[in-house]
């Protein structure tokens, strides 16, 4: 049931960062801070536990967190709970939606829900209990694994923290219902980590630490790519037909796209290297605002066509292509809501007028290899003229930080988590996620003004170095560990 995820040791891991001048000082400060805390933790293992080894921001961040902690002298392991009980996944998806304040799902929790939630975790606790020592430190990530805390605390006397990566600043009957349901599982919790204080219920306010998600600048998704590497990756990943042999072999799994009649097919030549691109990459989720973005882009194109103004200023937006990219449905068979959201996007794409449809591409990215998927995302972000995150609700949104690190101009909704990252007009531009007219206007303004795009991108990269990289996040985790070992 519970699986310990193997993360290979990386000799000279921190030295990789020291060769980058803009990162060197942060690494040196981190090493100095970690040294005395790691010494006090020498007989303890830090366990990070969540519900998935791939897919989603938590699974993506975990290898970097574990590797950093190990390189700084801590013992750290990553484990994931597993179950084949589909009712559990349906329940935790409902918990997820309610935590975001969604009102279109049931707010009523039954005794059976409580028993199911605890029983799946109990089955996993019985297995992982054999590997954990009482003096170890347990950090549980998101609601799916929350019951593990009380179960392992009762069995071993272990201290546990809970890290919540989701939430909304809005309070309504949905959020009240879900936090009431979760409250009994915090009985033995010594502290909770949230992205924003506004996301936490009142009964946890005295136990909160705020840590923003962050990106590792040297992973496959974020490391620098030369233009030659971008070409090779997009050819190897199947997004661009290769007119000549490229230096790297085809990826083990290749991207697909939606055809004009809605079929899933191999990718065509969509002019990725020649045309301006507006890009959104996310999971297929109604909360990501896909349909409103598509409506806004189509509106911009129709207005440009009606104006007939084929000026130098309009040439860039006239040629622009909208790229919507998410996981290939073949890899999300257990995500019923994700599959339904994808189907809505497919139907909307098929219904577009042909002249608009020709300027839109929906890519389906393979998920079998984390590295290959990350490299494709990295390459797409680096060639994008504008990166969009049009979320209706967003607890944070790592795709925005990824784009900012790459110096891309971003257009984002005013979802609370995105407002934590963007200063409107400085390192990005805000838009109402559900207002197609405003989306159209903001896209046109960005696409028609290269100086504005360039200024936004430069400031984005500058601010990211100090505020959004993993070093600050690891530093705050060390602060939390310091408090735990001193109590």
For residue 325, report the phi and psi dihedrals to the nearest 5 degrees: -130, 130
Q: Which tens digits make up the pLDDT trace of 281-320?
A: 999 999 999 999 999 999 999 999 888 767 777 899 999 9
Binned at pLDDT 50, 70 and 90, residue 47 comes out as: very high
CA dist 148 and 154 (Å) reads: 10
pLDDT for res 415: 95
pLDDT for res 128: 94
Query: Does position 394 have pLDDT exceeding 70, yes or no?
Result: yes
DSSP output for 110-127:
-HHHHHHHHHHHHHHHHH
416 token code pair:
């609370």
Average pLDDT in the 255-277 region?
96
Domains 3-214+469-485 and 227-467 share a fold: yes
Of all residues in the chain, what percent carry a pLDDT higher than 90? 86
Q: Which tens digits make up the pLDDT trace of 434-444?
A: 999 999 999 99
pLDDT for res 312: 72
Domain boundaries, the chain: 3-214+469-485, 227-467
Q: How many alpha carbons lie under 13 Å from residue 225 in its C-beta half-sphere?
A: 25
Given the candidates 1.10.287.70, 3.40.50.2000, 2.60.40.1220, 3.30.200.20, the CATH classification of the domain at 227-467 is 3.40.50.2000
CA dist 477 and 482 (Å) reads: 9
Give which of 309, 225, 344, 324 is closest to 270, Cα–Cα: 324
Could you tell me if 246 and 231 are in contact, meaning their C-beta atoms sit under 8 angstroms apart?
yes
Sequence-distant (6+) residues with CB within 8 A of 8 are none
The separation between the first and the last C-alpha atoms of the chain, rounded to the nearest angstrom, is 32
pLDDT for res 129: 93
Task: Classify burial at 23, counting beta carbons within 10 Å of its beta carbon; exposed 0-12, middle 13-18, buried 19 or more.
Answer: middle
CA dihedral sign, ordered 124, 130, 132, 133 = positive
Query: Does position 226 have pLDDT exceeding 70, yes or no?
Result: yes
Sequence-distant (6+) residues with CB within 8 A of 376 are 233, 234, 237, 239, 251, 255, 365, 366
Could you tell me if 74 and 46 are in contact, meaning their C-beta atoms sit under 8 angstroms apart?
yes
CA dist 254 and 456 (Å) reads: 33
pLDDT for res 52: 87
Query: Does position 324 have pLDDT exceeding 90, yes or no?
Result: yes
Dihedral, CA atoms, 252, 258, 262, 264, nearest 10 degrees? -10
pLDDT for res 485: 86
pLDDT for res 171: 94
**E strand or H helix that includes residue 192:** strand 189-194
Task: Classify 209 as helix, strand or coil.
Answer: strand
214 token code pair:
């962050």
Task: Classify 307 as helix, strand or coil.
Answer: helix
Task: Classify 331 as helix, strand or coil.
Answer: helix
Task: Classify 88 as helix, strand or coil.
Answer: helix
CA dihedral sign, ordered 48, 52, 53, 59 = negative
pLDDT for res 330: 83
Pair type for strands 159-164 and 137-141? parallel
Binned at pLDDT 50, 70 and 90, residue 53 comes out as: confident
CA dist 53 and 3 (Å) reads: 9
* DSSP-H helix ranges across 198-289: 227-236
CA dist 312 and 301 (Å) reads: 16
Superfamily of domain 3-214+469-485: Glycogen Phosphorylase B; (3.40.50.2000)
pLDDT for res 309: 65
461 token code pair:
């990269």
Give which of 116, 224, 194 is closest to 461, Cα–Cα: 224
**E strand or H helix that includes residue 79:** strand 75-80
Q: Which residue has the higher pLDDT, 334 or 228?
A: 228
CA dist 452 and 280 (Å) reads: 20
Query: Does position 66 have pLDDT exceeding 90, yes or no?
Result: yes
Query: Does position 202 have pLDDT exceeding 90, yes or no?
Result: yes
**E strand or H helix that includes residue 460:** helix 450-467
15 token code pair:
């030295």
pLDDT for res 334: 61
175 token code pair:
């959020």
Sequence-distant (6+) residues with CB within 8 A of 44 are 75, 133, 135, 136, 137, 485
Task: Classify burial at 247, counting beta carbons within 10 Å of its beta carbon; exposed 0-12, middle 13-18, buried 19 or more.
Answer: exposed
Could you tell me if 183 and 201 are in contact, meaning their C-beta atoms sit under 8 angstroms apart?
yes
pLDDT for res 333: 61
Query: Does position 322 have pLDDT exceeding 90, yes or no?
Result: yes
pLDDT for res 159: 87
What's 395's DSSP letter? S
Query: Does position 487 have pLDDT exceeding 80, yes or no?
Result: no
Cα–Cα distances (Å) from 264 to 261, 330, 362, 363, in that order, read 9, 11, 10, 9
């Amino acid at each position: 049931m519970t699986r310990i995820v193997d993360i290979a040791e990386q000799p000279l891991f921190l030295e990789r960062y020291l060769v980058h001048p803009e990162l060197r000082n942060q690494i040196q400060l981190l090493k100095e801070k970690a040294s005395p805390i790691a010494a006090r933790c020498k007989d303890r293992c830090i366990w990070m536990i969540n519900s998935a080894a791939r897919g989603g921001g938590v699974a993506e961040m975990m290898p970097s967190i574990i590797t950093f902690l190990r390189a700084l002298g801590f013992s750290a392991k990553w484990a994931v709970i597993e179950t084949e009980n589909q009712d559990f996944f349906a329940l935790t998806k409902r918990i997820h939606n309610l935590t975001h304040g969604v009102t279109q799902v049931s707010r009523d929790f039954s005794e059976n829900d409580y028993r199911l939630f605890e029983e799946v975790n109990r089955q996993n606790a019985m297995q992982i209990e054999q590997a954990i020592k009482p003096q170890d430190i347990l950090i549980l990530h998101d609601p799916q694994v929350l019951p593990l805390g009380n179960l392992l605390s009762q069995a071993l006397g272990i201290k546990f923290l809970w890290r919540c990566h989701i939430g909304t600043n809005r309070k309504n009957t949905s959020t009240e219902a879900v936090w009431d349901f979760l409250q009994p599982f915090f009985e033995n919790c010594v502290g909770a980590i949230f992205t924003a204080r506004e996301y936490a219920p009142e009964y946890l306010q005295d136990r909160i630490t705020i840590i923003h998600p962050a990106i590792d600048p040297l992973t496959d998704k974020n490391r620098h790519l030369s233009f030659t590497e971008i070409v090779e990756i997009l050819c190897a990943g199947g997004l661009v037909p290769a007119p000549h042999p490229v230096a790297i072999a085809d990826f083990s799994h290749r991207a697909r796209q939606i055809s004009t009649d809605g079929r899933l097919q191999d990718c065509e030549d969509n002019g990725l290297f020649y045309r301006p691109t507006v890009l959104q990459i996310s999971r297929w989720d109604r909360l990501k605002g896909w349909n409103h973005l598509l409506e806004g882009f189509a509106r911009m194109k129709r207005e440009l066509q009606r104006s007939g103004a084929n000026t130098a200023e309009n040439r860039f937006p006239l040629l622009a292509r909208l790229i919507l990219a998410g996981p290939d449905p073949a890899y999300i068979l257990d995500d019923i809501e994700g599959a339904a959201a994808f189907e809505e996007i497919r139907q909307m794409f098929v219904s577009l007028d042909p002249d608009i449809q020709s300027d839109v591409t929906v890519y389906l990215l393979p998920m079998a290899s984390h590295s290959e998927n990350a490299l494709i995302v990295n390459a797409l972000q680096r060639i994008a003229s504008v990166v969009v995150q049009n979320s209706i609700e967003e607890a944070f949104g790592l795709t925005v930080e990824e784009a900012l690190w790459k110096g891309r101009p971003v257009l984002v909704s005013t979802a609370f988590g995105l407002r934590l990252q963007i200063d409107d007009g400085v390192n990005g531009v805000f838009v109402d996620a559900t207002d197609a007219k405003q989306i159209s206007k903001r896209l046109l303004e960005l696409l028609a003004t290269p100086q504005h795009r360039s200024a936004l991108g430069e400031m984005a990269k500058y601010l990211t170095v100090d505020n959004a990289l993993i070093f600050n996040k690891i530093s705050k985790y060390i602060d939390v560990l310091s408090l735990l070992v001193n109590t």
